[in-house]
Amino acid sequence: MLIAMVSSMLLVQFYSTFIVGYQLITPPKTINTLEKLLDSDIKMSVENLSYQYDFFRRTKSQEALKLYETKILPNKYGFVNISFGMQLVKRGGYAFHCETSYDTFTDREICELQQVQLYPQRSVHLPMIKGTPLRELFKVNLQLLKESGLLAYHHSRSYIPKPKCNKQSDNHTEQIHLTDVKFAFLLLGVGMAASVAMLLWEFVFVRLQHWWHQHQTPATIPKGFVWLN
């Protein structure tokens, strides 16, 4: 019983410490590359647009091609509209590639979202005749557009900014599964099994000791025996 009580106290202490620590830290986001997305069990869908098909036909990226062949083509929801794709993401176990999203997410869902870059970053160039005087003109005016904020303004109108994870929200809590604390329950089970085993051993030992005293023949002292000091 003492071992069971100690094991239960250890379980309560471990579980309470785990909950507090898990709520204080940010869960790691391990899927941050195409290779890790390929190795995971997550299914994938793509927004049903014409240039998405063209990208997978023309791309030289082996990771993107393998992603297309293993996760998009075999999937019956490989190419869907953005509304249905966001619903798949909310269900869990799905990755969806799109330009921008108009759906709403809760604070928990925002913190659970992970982002992977599919399209490679490419530099944009202006084709001009060699030695043309317009080169400096375009260079200066593009820099002025950037410094004045017009590029950022039009980008914000065309693309929705990525929502930020608000862990200070009152309704934000991290999910804790039983698999996260299975070691504590395993420790409790071992402690209870050990306590039962020790109880049975003590019971058998007492019974054997009692049986031994009952069947042991008392030693007889012969007549005329004298103890010597």
Report domain extents, the chain: 34-122, 125-164
CA-closest candidate to residue 96, choices 52, 162, 45, 147: 45
**140-166 burial: b if 16+ Cβ within 10 Å, else e:** eeeeeeeeeeeeeeeeeeeeeeeeebe
What is the pTM (predicted TM-score) of this model?
Answer: 0.54
CA distances from 144 to 141, 156, 180 (A): 5, 18, 54
The pLDDT tens digits along the chain (229 residues) read 666 666 667 666 766 776 666 666 666 677 888 888 888 888 888 988 888 888 888 888 888 888 888 888 888 888 888 888 888 888 888 888 887 665 677 777 777 788 888 887 777 778 888 888 888 888 898 889 889 988 888 888 877 777 777 766 555 555 666 666 677 677 777 877 887 888 888 888 888 888 887 776 555 666 665 666 5
| CB atoms near residue 103 (< 10 Å) | 14
What CATH class has 34-122? alpha beta
